[in-house]
Amino acid sequence: MFTVPVPREFKETDKFTWTIVANGQSMTIPLKVLPDYVVNPFTNVAAKNSPPVIRLFEQNAPTIQGPIAIIGKALTRTATVGTPLELPLWATDDAMYSSGSNAPQRNPPPAVILTWSKYRGPGAVTFGNVKPEFEKLPSGEVPFSGKAATTVKFSEPGDYVLHVTANDYSGAGGGGEVCCWTTALVKVAVKP
């Protein structure tokens, strides 16, 4: 998923063309701002569901919510080749879901499921667990609050970007509802 900023005066009848040239071949993609194409990944109105809220590296860190991972706003860390880097993450969620019939789930999945992956970098990346499980914490005002942690090791020096996705009960891609997940990026400068 990506966004394309357009000028404020852009109308539904205006057209935007995006051209990509790769391997000597040109691909042109026409875009319009039609209501049918506007996706709101922040709320499932019917179930009143919203994406998980995550915090990286510190429990009181700034919050991240929704699929808005941007390289320019990625958190930064440093690491050494072969030495595990800790990746702690805290999450809260409204624990809302829609099963279509809104019947209670018999065996509900975890409220939030994390998936870590390598986004880019020169060498191999090894996670302690790409899908770490949450330790449930006292939730206070929200139905779910938890902490999950894993580690990551790098095979060679260089600049890496890690990607984390936090899906709620809706599942990957919002379970067809195009809601409710959160993404974040972490830049890691790895030294020899």
Which pLDDT band holds residue 96 (cuts at 50, 70, 90)?
A: confident
Give pTM, 2 decimals: 0.77
Q: What is the average per-residue pLDDT within 19-24?
A: 88
30 inside domain: no
CA distance 102 to 48: 12
71 inside domain: yes
- How many structural domains does the chain have? 1
Which pLDDT band holds residue 89 (cuts at 50, 70, 90)?
A: very high
Domain with 43 in it: what CATH number?
Answer: 2.60.40.10
What is the model's pLDDT at position 66?
A: 87
Q: Which domain holds residue 61?
A: 39-191
105 inside domain: yes
Residue linked to tokens 């510190």: 58
70 inside domain: yes
- pLDDT tens figures, 164-191: 999 988 777 666 666 788 999 999 999 9
CA distance 46 to 98: 8
Identify the CA nearest to 91 among candidates 121, 69, 64. Answer: 64
CA distance 84 to 181: 27
